[in-house]
Chains A and B, each alone.
Chain A
């Protein structure tokens, strides 16, 4: 679409799922060049590019890759794992990348594997992405047939429906065949990751950016975007907008630009009530924040995060309590159950929010909800607990009047007209476990 496209460049004109088409736009040429450069040279380009991880945590990729021990320092093999378990609500950018430019992802894998000295790459793809899986599988066959793999093996592994397996150590556990539950860090995956060996784990978008960085140089990439957020990003725009979808834009673009210029604004004459800037795991912004640039630092200044870059627009038809309940139900369902605060706290939050939405709550329970969020924050084994507590706390903080109205009115003020009405998760589906007679 725009000239600033890097990851999705060329996909609008051609079918880049085919290797020949991809080669026509210069695909796999960078791979040869990278293999000619030494691994350290590739790493240096990544460091110069200062690209921050596109999964959600935003850790600088080059720095993460430099934690991997150099050949000879560690007796175990080095692994590269690509996190294609895109499950953050509102995020569908990796899907687009895998659907339209799978070869760019594969080239990125091979270049990165070369940079860290790895011969084994694992792509952990979300189980629900069946079409994307088939496309990548076909693309891998094409690349293999064209003799591009070298001595690298790429394994494409499907997940089985767990958001928590997007957390890096839970992903590694799942890949190893264990229950998908996160591990404590330290030890970090760079030292002891997959099979207790040094592992670099990165998001699909991050890896798919690598060919461009190596082709044009890290400095070129670092020139775009802002000082704290270099390069471009694929933003998934959804919610109450006319033209939702994936837009690859330079970092620094404002929310107004994305929503109104690219997204066509809100349908009808609706007004923005709230904006979730980075997937449901981040605190919400209000309509006053519409001019915030989409950068890591600007979002941090506003008390939220850029996260996965999934912008969800909420207009004034939506009840914020219902939104909070729906979001809390998601985290309750997806909690892995290993640590106590997340496992028990997310369920408690759902129970309290349900009570508030039904209008049965007492005044003290609003503060109880905030206290529960406070008790979860910072005490969990992995960020899922924080991802559940922070947004809910932000809904109460920024839309307290609405929560108060539920309590005062003894019911939802939208009276069944909210846009989220009846869109609730079947969280009770596993409530009763049938008991089977155990013979003596």
Chain B
């Protein structure tokens, strides 16, 4: 049986029906969300820009083990470790990441690096407003990743979801 619901016999009627659909929308409430005045709240586990974390005492959690680089399907993380010395103790372990770069243009925001990290040093936060004009500016260095986000985005109420959410997730 041919489905004729979308092809009326009379083309004028069809055209009028199409216009009618459009006309009706004038009176309906728009569902457009006016970004950037209104920012839709993100889910708590939404994967945005990466963040490197520190311990309470200020030492970096990242020990430069490079497991995140191994897990990354896009091969966009570069880790060059170095040894902690008594004069220069950066992380809590034997070594720290001297160079830690993520190429954001390659990153697919899958979150595998977060899953791979044994120290919860890298997580994917909620920031997504990270456009740049030059490609080179999209290679994020360690200081950029350690820093607090510049712009805050709203996060949906975690109470609505029954999965436990870690501390760092609700504070983007």
A/B: CB atoms within 8 Å of each other: no
> Using a CB–CB distance below 8 Å, which chain B residues touch chain A?
none
